Amino acid sequence: MIATIVPDVRNHYPVLLREIISIITPQYGGTFIDCTFGQGGYTKKILSFEKTKVIAIDRDLESLKKAEKIKNKFEDRFIFKNIKFSELINLKLKDKNVKGVIFDLGYSYTQIKDPKKGLSFEAIGELNMKMGINDFSAKEVINNLDEKELAQIFKYFGDEKDSNRIAHNIVEDRATREITTEELVRIIDSSKKKKNQKTHNATKVFQALRIFVNKEISELIYGLINAAKVVKKDGIIAVVTFHSLEDKIVKYFFKSLSENKSISRYMPKGVEKINLFKILSKKPIVPTKKEIQKNPPSRSAKLRYVIKKEDFYDFETDILEKFDHLIRIENFSTRL
């Protein structure tokens, strides 16, 4: 008889852990940067191999408790910093022999279930959505940006088809009452032309707001640029994404620097252009059926990675120009 695996999502499962470990090979030792420490799932596994060091980063101060426990056990091999990964460059890692930089984007189980954070449409009360180290909350966004700006956020960050109508109804409603999480869900429900059968009607708008509040587009772009600077020759950058916008950015960054487009500032003119990265697999790695069964939220995860081929710290990239239309939308926040 085949035993049924009952999904248990009460715990945090590090997504694609086995695959990440087989790519970064910590069994040979080295310094690794875990840019999204979360519950420390990846970090703990890396530290279980001798001769490894981990510098872990997380913008959410809640991660500190987990980090302190790990610090007690691995005092000499572990450092935790409560910063955003866009600030990775401030850690002065230029002369450290960084063998791997890993990102596991998205939110940890504890963040999603934390009612104070209000990341989920199942949360009750005031809109928030701050992951940690933020300048404004979703409440300020919903109450202050104009209709056109809200519509663009929902369209470009959430791929929401009914973005105009939802934005219009928000602006109309907010004139008479405060928009709480429940109220926003109600507005979205009543604005949708077609009711979604598979996912909750509010999924896309909530995704868009989380991206906007946490500036996830520029975070990812600067995180990738910084990772590419600090990782040494033959080192790895590995990124797990959870939605198509993130995957698009990661794919472009890796591909554009692997196709004779990159060049170091220090290269003399006339010298043949070189590639910064080597891509081993064009297709992303996705979780096995078994992993999805055990941890259903892993179903949308995609893992891409590159090997740095050259030892340049500075390099040129057009990623900021390529995604300028999205960064402009993020910059609506300067009005808040």
Ligand X SMILES: C[S@@+](CC[C@H](N)C(=O)[O-])C[C@H]1O[C@@H](n2cnc3c(N)ncnc32)[C@H](O)[C@@H]1O
160 binds ligand X (CB under 6 A): no
Query: Based on CB atoms, which residue is closest to ligand X, 98 or 185?
Result: 98
Planar angle of CA 177, 183, 184, nearest 5 degrees: 110
Amino acid at 234: D
Residues near 220 by Cβ (< 8 Å), separated by ≥ 6? 103, 105, 246, 249, 250
Distance CA 58, CA 161 (A): 33
- Binders of ligand X: how many residues, by CB under 6 A? 23
Interface segment toward ligand X; rule CB under 6 A; list 39-47, 147-155, 248-256, 278-286: 39-47
The residue behind tokens 């080295």 is: 30
Minimum CB–partner distance for residue 80 and ligand X (Å) = 11
Length of the chain, please? 336
Distance CA 17, CA 141 (A): 35
Query: Based on CB atoms, which residue is closest to ligand X, 40 or 100?
Result: 40
Minimum CB–partner distance for residue 41 and ligand X (Å) = 2
Q: List binders of ligand X among 131-150 (CB under 6 A).
A: 131-132
Interface segment toward ligand X; rule CB under 6 A; list 40-48, 189-197, 285-293, 325-333: 40-48
Minimum CB–partner distance for residue 310 and ligand X (Å) = 26
Minimum CB–partner distance for residue 56 and ligand X (Å) = 9
Minimum CB–partner distance for residue 66 and ligand X (Å) = 8
Which of 39, 137, 181, 256 touches ligand X by CB under 6 A? 39
Q: Tell me 80's DSSP state.
A: E
Which residue's C-beta sits nearest to ligand X? 41
Planar angle of CA 245, 61, 327, nearest 5 degrees: 30
Residues near 56 by Cβ (< 8 Å), separated by ≥ 6? 33, 34, 37, 40, 43, 67, 78, 79, 80, 81
Q: List binders of ligand X among 192-231 (CB under 6 A).
A: 219
42 binds ligand X (CB under 6 A): yes
Burial class (CB in 10 A: 0-12, 13-18, 19+), 282: exposed
38 binds ligand X (CB under 6 A): yes
Which of 26, 30, 33, 41 touches ligand X by CB under 6 A? 41
40 binds ligand X (CB under 6 A): yes
36 binds ligand X (CB under 6 A): yes
297 binds ligand X (CB under 6 A): no
CB-CB contact of 17 with 42 (8 Å): yes
Sheet-wide strand order for 52-57: 78-81, 52-57, 30-34, 98-104, 231-241, 302-308, 277-278
Query: Based on CB atoms, which residue is closest to ligand X, 60 or 162?
Result: 60
Q: List binders of ligand X among 51-110 (CB under 6 A).
A: 57-60, 63, 84-85, 104, 106-108
Q: Which residues bind ligand X (CB under 6 A)?
A: 12, 14, 36, 38-42, 57-60, 63, 84-85, 104, 106-108, 111, 131-132, 219
